[in-house]
Structure 1
């Protein structure tokens, strides 16, 4: 084969022909390349192939020790951040003797329960990105948001306060995107990577939660068999373990690409099942349409379905291979059908919300639900349009994956609007 490789260099299509030979028989090509290079040492194309196929140099002992030391330091950082997040969520119990109203469960849990785990994740992402310039702005905005939540002069469990505390984690999610980008305003590619990272983070967080639930259940059962009190497992082990899950899952995701294989598999399994469930729900809704306009619980189920389909659609695109191609998969047809049915449900839901506002008046909750569903429905419709273009071979998978990346500022603007303006207006 060495002679054929050398002969190909004279042709204009030599790069393509060499690639074809390599794909046809990699072992023979690799064995023949040194002979061809000895015959034509001046050929830049052959030198490039030799550099491509050269085995990697083994790492030195110093380099291996350095990497192991860095991995150990990162692991201890994750343990420390997880411990601090757990202690933060336990502050009401730790501060019962102080009688400070900021540490009462009624005040603390509603306003601060998410700050510990998400704050630990924020610090870890900034550390993973090397504390790039601008990190202090992200931490400063996080501190201002935490201060704002605790200084709002609103009655506990009032509707505006509940909405602020519900949308504040979405604002923190946007700050996490900035931390993932290194501390500055994330560009389009960085937002695309953030959407992919967040999907993998959610999957591994769920897996860690399931494993933790099994561990806690087994621990409690064993202690009960020994007639030993197990209250501490649920009072301390459960909340502290749950608070550490986000930062632990982030370390798993940043250290490997295993989730890239899990996410498409989950989509292939759950997209058809969810489509069947939605079609059954739509058929039942056609018979009991008044339920959607009169029953508040039906509207809540509708909101959960809307978010579930959006999450499944967005995360199904993460980990797809061939991002710049127009290659279609069988799951794309299920995804298009799922988005179409959900968009129809979204329009019906918006009509129901509008009808409640007209007949019962405008409240903070109803306006928040209306705006949130408009934002989510807009994202679903754009995804549906791009999915149809993909099925027509007019768009690539990358176009689909960038839809939500472009849409992230809309979510940030709506969350900021609810968090800052709703307490003033209502």
Structure 2
């Protein structure tokens, strides 16, 4: 018997998708599959390869059948991204030449480095740490606004959001070292990153596909920044060692000039690399998610056991609850990245079941953490830190519950992958809204303490 080809696998996934719709009889599915194969054969005879022929055939089937149209709507954009990694000449007349885009990126990187250098020189240490996001990320926003040709009205609105957020963080009469000041400084970067995301979408922020692209970009950016940091660290270490042999100390230049310019510049260069070389990272992403998902699941189970054996919930250490929040945020980031990197046409398998186990473990930990927080608030009263942690856990709880339900339906082949993916992008603005509440509202609510 001949081995199944990649085209056979694609058609099988399409059949599986159509078969899940109970209104369609198995005989009708067989007839539709025959029509699909006939169209594929015609397109292959016209010179298209298997994957291109499959995509075009499904799109054309979409004009005849509502289910195929839905399949094409959910999966064609990702397929086109896999098939067409390099745009054809003249496909987008607005696309800037590579050398010009690199020049813009380097100029913005120098600008970000200069802003960081001036900030480090003129601001106190705590004020500088609070404002790092405002010194670097606007340049990344500018890069995407330029690259996407964002409307001036949109750019003006995003600049206004950054200005208002910066003004709140710096002009509110926070008590020195107070909880509300720390919370505002921690949540302000979420609002800045949201503005960067809107610029990344070129104003199409209502599009779920564009939001998921930004999720994918965020994960890939972290990978590239880490790789650049590792490579740069090795290079600087070797350079410092060589200079030390001849009695030259690199440390003053490192602290005064190299790090202030190289670190912000690395963020801009990494963003440019992600944009230019997405297909390379797409090969890395599935590997990373498959390595860290089981490890994170084990971490959650251990955390659950620690909470259960910690005695009374009021005695649970506050630092432990903060660490648990960090673990849950990590779970969310890993979940989003793995969903963005997954082949939407693939059938549910072992790794999807493992993700479901991770979500279930995260829900168990979140439920215990919420119980501990509510118990501490009832016992000792509310404080900015407690209310912020409680709010974040409630936001995470809603996200994880719905995700777990959709993932369970997908694993049981009762629902498609598209619903799970859409839920992630639909819920993302809730995190920006909660960050805005903490930054703008917690100071007045708690007397800026």
Q: TM-score range by the shorter chain?
A: 0.7 to 0.9
Q: How far apart, in 2, do the equivalents of 1:194 and 1:181 lie? A: 7
| 1:184 CA displacement | 6.0
Question: 1:319-358, aligned counterparts within 5 Å?
Answer: 319-321=341-343, 323=344, 325=345, 327-358=347-378
Aligned in 2, Cα 1:21/1:228: closer, same or farther, shift over 3 Å?
Answer: same
Contact 1:292 1:298 in 2 (8 A): no
What SS does the corresponding residue of 1:90 show, helix, strand or coil?
Answer: helix
The alignment of Structure 1 onto Structure 2 pairs a total of residues equal to 377
Question: 1:82-231, aligned counterparts within 5 Å?
Answer: 82-95=109-122, 103-110=123-130, 112-133=131-152, 134-183=154-203, 185-231=205-251
Q: Is 1:275–2:275 an aligned residue pair?
A: no
Q: How far apart, in 2, do the equivalents of 1:12 and 1:422 lie? A: 58
Q: How far apart, in 2, do the equivalents of 1:32 and 1:299 lie? A: 56
Q: How far apart, in 2, do the equivalents of 1:167 and 1:304 lie? A: 13
> Partner of 1:37 in structure 2?
none
Q: Deviations over 1:393-413 (max 9, x none)?
A: 122222222222110221121
TM-score (norm 2): 0.76
Unaligned runs of 5+ in 1: 1-10, 34-57, 96-102
| 1:283 CA displacement | 3.2
> Partner of 1:413 in structure 2?
433
What SS does the corresponding residue of 1:227 show, helix, strand or coil?
Answer: coil
Aligned in 2, Cα 1:32/1:331: closer, same or farther, shift over 3 Å?
Answer: closer
> Partner of 1:259 in structure 2?
281
What SS does the corresponding residue of 1:337 show, helix, strand or coil?
Answer: helix
Contact 2:136 2:264 in 1 (8 A): yes
Aligned in 2, Cα 1:13/1:390: closer, same or farther, shift over 3 Å?
Answer: closer
Contact 1:216 1:238 in 2 (8 A): no
Of structures 1 and 2, the larger Rg is shown by 1
Q: Is 1:247–2:274 an aligned residue pair?
A: no
Which fold has the larger relative contact order, with Cα–Cα distance below 8 Å and residues 6 or more apart in sequence?
A: 2
| 1:385 CA displacement | 1.1
| 1:183 CA displacement | 3.5
| 1:306 CA displacement | 0.8
Q: How far apart, in 2, do the equivalents of 1:15 and 1:291 lie? A: 62
Aligned in 2, Cα 1:150/1:184: closer, same or farther, shift over 3 Å?
Answer: farther
Contact 1:126 1:179 in 2 (8 A): yes
Q: How far apart, in 1, do the equivalents of 2:33 and 2:371 lie? A: 61
Contact 1:126 1:183 in 2 (8 A): no
Contact 1:357 1:366 in 2 (8 A): yes
Q: How far apart, in 2, do the equivalents of 1:13 and 1:294 lie? A: 59
